[in-house]
Amino acid sequence: MRESRRLGESDLIVSPFGLGTSTWGTKTDFDDATSQLAAYLEAGGNLVDTADVYGGGHAERFIGRMLGTGLLRDSLVLTTKSAAVIVDGKPFANASRDYLLDALDASLTRLGTDHVDLWQLHAWDKKTPIDETLEAIDIAITAGKARYAGVCNYSGWQTAAAAVRQSGKNSRALASTQVEYSLVERGIEREVVPAARSLGLGILPWAPLGRGVLSAKYRYGVPEKRAGSRFFKWYVGKHLNDRAAGIVEVVASVADELGTTPVSVALAWLRDRPGVVAPLIGARTTGQLKESLAGADLDLPEEHRRELDEVSAPRFGYPEVGS
Tell me the C-alpha to C-alpha distance, in Å, between residue 35 and each of 24, 112, 215. Answer: 12, 19, 22
- Determine the Cα–Cα distance for residues 107 and 60; give it in Å rounded to an integer: 7
Nearest to 71 by CA among 28, 108, 26, 41: 41
Q: Give residues with Cβ within 8 angstroms of 4, minimum separation 6.
A: 13, 14, 15, 16, 46
3-state DSSP call for residue 119? strand
114, 144 contact by CB (below 8 A)? yes
- Determine the Cα–Cα distance for residues 312 and 278; give it in Å rounded to an integer: 20
181, 215 contact by CB (below 8 A)? no
Tell me how far apart the terminal alpha carbons of the chain are, to the nearest angstrom. Answer: 43
Pairing of strands 5-6, 13-14: antiparallel
**Catalytic status, residue 54:** yes
- Report DSSP letters for 78-101, one per residue: EEEEESEEEETTEEEE---HHHHH
User: DSSP 3-state helix, strand, coil percentages of the chain (rounded to 5)?
Assistant: 45, 15, 35
- Determine the Cα–Cα distance for residues 162 and 173; give it in Å rounded to an integer: 9
Active-site option among 54, 148, 154, 181: 54
Q: Which positions are catalytic?
A: 54
